[in-house]
Amino acid sequence: MAVHIPGALVDAAYAGVGRPTLFRLGGGDPEVAHETTLDWLAWWGRTPARRALLELAFGSRGTPVEVAGIRFGGPVGLAAGMDKDARALMAWARLGFSHVEFGTVTGQPQPGNPKPRMFRLRPSHGVINRMGFNNAGSEAIAARLELAGVRRGNHAAGMPVGVSIGKTKVVALADAVEDYLSSLRRLVHLVDYLAINVSSPNTPGLRSLQGADELSGLVRALVDEAAVQAEESSQSTLGPVPVFVKIAPDLEWSAIDQALEVCAAAGAAGIIATNTTLGRDGLAPEDRPLAGQAGGLSGAPLTARALEVVSYVTAHTDLPVIGVGGIMTADDARAMLQAGASLVQIFTGFIYSGPGLVRDINRLTTDRLAVPRG
Ligand SMILES: Cc1cc2nc3c(=O)[nH]c(=O)nc-3n(C[C@H](O)[C@H](O)[C@H](O)COP(=O)(O)O)c2cc1C
């Protein structure tokens, strides 16, 4: 039987030492804390012995769930953007995550926006970011997955792997489909699912791809190409790779209706709701000076809106929904699951609460009767 360090100790260590240390790094620059966390986790993930120690300290498991034909070991994944290039690929499952959405990666490598581009809103428990898809490109992440022995369906990273794909900034919107397709072709045999990111606020024009015609063309092109690739592949028994679509929380209900219709008709496997918001509601007075920073807001100020959108989406589509946005506590995750989400993902909650949040969400599904599903 696995021995674990008591959860209360993990939580106290993160709140008392881990988080204050991370929040002080680089003179309080959140991107330095982010990079350090990735370096640290990549190191811990590098050998079987280190991975076993990570698991000993933080490991937890939820109740398995099947979504879009993929078996997930528990309800909670890491949202896109935390580990864009899959640097800590082998560590995440040991923290209790049932999947990670790596990326967003683009067809070509790109540096992202000038720094600073990430801002911590501590009193509000939020983050504003305008990273702008800084990433090494879809070819580089494919090479990293391949080197680690990750192939579609083999769970070599200890979990299913998703990759979010987006548009390269210098590629014109009119050529977006080809840019997404180039990433799909590189990744289709390696990943368990792909997520189409059309909802980041930080690539000019990207969100216009959520419009019915644009979205229909894009999703159809990717779903069709996934089918072609599956036919030609030695993995053809697995069928085409599932393609999810991630939407923004700032869409009107009518635009969500259209997007859902288009996604279902085009053969998308599910919806991920939501990305960050351009709204600035719910900020603590001390954070008002930062409200003017351009970028997407995540964390506690997004909790209510993301839940509202997830509730709407689950009520208006038969597609499975991955709920993300402002999940800062296990109760927030419970609300998303009760609203009908099949899985949840976290990002900003992981920054503020640390690995204990993953364990607490897993526990929701292992404690009997904890989550009466909606
Ligand atoms: C620094 C940062 C970078 C992000 N990068 C991406 C990204 O590349 N692709 C994407 O789909 N979402 C990205 N997101 C959005 C998250 O995946 C998530 O949808 C959003 O932050 C809401 O969840 P949260 O409140 O738990 O953070 C990013 C968020 C943050 C804070």
What type of residue sits at position 202?
N
* 200 noted as active-site residue: yes
Which of the pair, 236 or 164, is modelled with greater confidence?
A: 164
For the cut 70, the answer to whether the pLDDT of residue 254 exceeds it is: yes
Q: How confident is the model at residue 3 (pLDDT cuts 50, 70, 90)?
A: low
Report yes or no: 152 and 191 within 8 Å, Cβ to Cβ. Answer: yes
Question: How many angstroms does the Cα of residue 212 sit away from the middle of ligand 1?
Answer: 23
Q: How confident is the model at residue 1 (pLDDT cuts 50, 70, 90)?
A: very low
The CB-side HSE value for 277 (13 A sphere, CA atoms) comes to 26
Instruction: Give the domains, in start order, of the chain with CATH numbers.
Output: 62-366 (3.20.20.70)
The verdict on the CB of residue 351 being under 6 Å from ligand 1 is: no
Q: How confident is the model at residue 203 (pLDDT cuts 50, 70, 90)?
A: confident
pLDDT tens for 77-131 read: 999 999 999 999 999 999 999 999 999 999 999 999 999 999 999 999 999 999 9
- Which residues, 6+ apart, have CB-to-CB distance to 322 below 8 Å? 67, 77, 244, 270, 271, 272, 273, 341, 342, 343, 344, 345
Question: How many angstroms does the Cα of residue 278 sit away from the middle of ligand 1?
Answer: 12
Question: How many angstroms does the Cα of residue 127 sit away from the middle of ligand 1?
Answer: 9
Query: What pLDDT is stored for residue 177 in this prediction?
Result: 97
What distance in Å separates the CA atoms of residue 68 and residue 66, rounded to the nearest whole number?
A: 7
Of 351, 273, 355, 358, nearest in space to 317 by CA: 273
The verdict on the CB of residue 79 being under 6 Å from ligand 1 is: yes
Q: How confident is the model at residue 211 (pLDDT cuts 50, 70, 90)?
A: confident
What distance in Å separates the CA atoms of residue 264 and residue 159, rounded to the nearest whole number?
A: 26
The verdict on the CB of residue 200 being under 6 Å from ligand 1 is: yes
Arithmetic mean of pLDDT, 256-263? 96
Of 166, 88, 169, nearest in space to 350 by CA: 88
Beta strand 118-121 with 126-129: parallel, antiparallel or unpaired? antiparallel
The verdict on the CB of residue 327 being under 6 Å from ligand 1 is: yes
pLDDT tens for 340-357 read: 999 999 999 999 999 999
Q: How confident is the model at residue 212 (pLDDT cuts 50, 70, 90)?
A: confident
User: 243, 250, 276, 344: which to mutate for ligand 1, most atoms within 8 A of CB?
Assistant: 276
Which of the pair, 205 or 190, is modelled with greater confidence?
A: 190
Query: Residue 73 — left, alpha, or beta (φ > 0 → left; ψ -120 to 50 → alpha)?
Result: alpha
The verdict on the CB of residue 348 being under 6 Å from ligand 1 is: yes
| Residue 251: C-alpha distances to residues 57, 255, 366 (Å) | 40, 6, 34
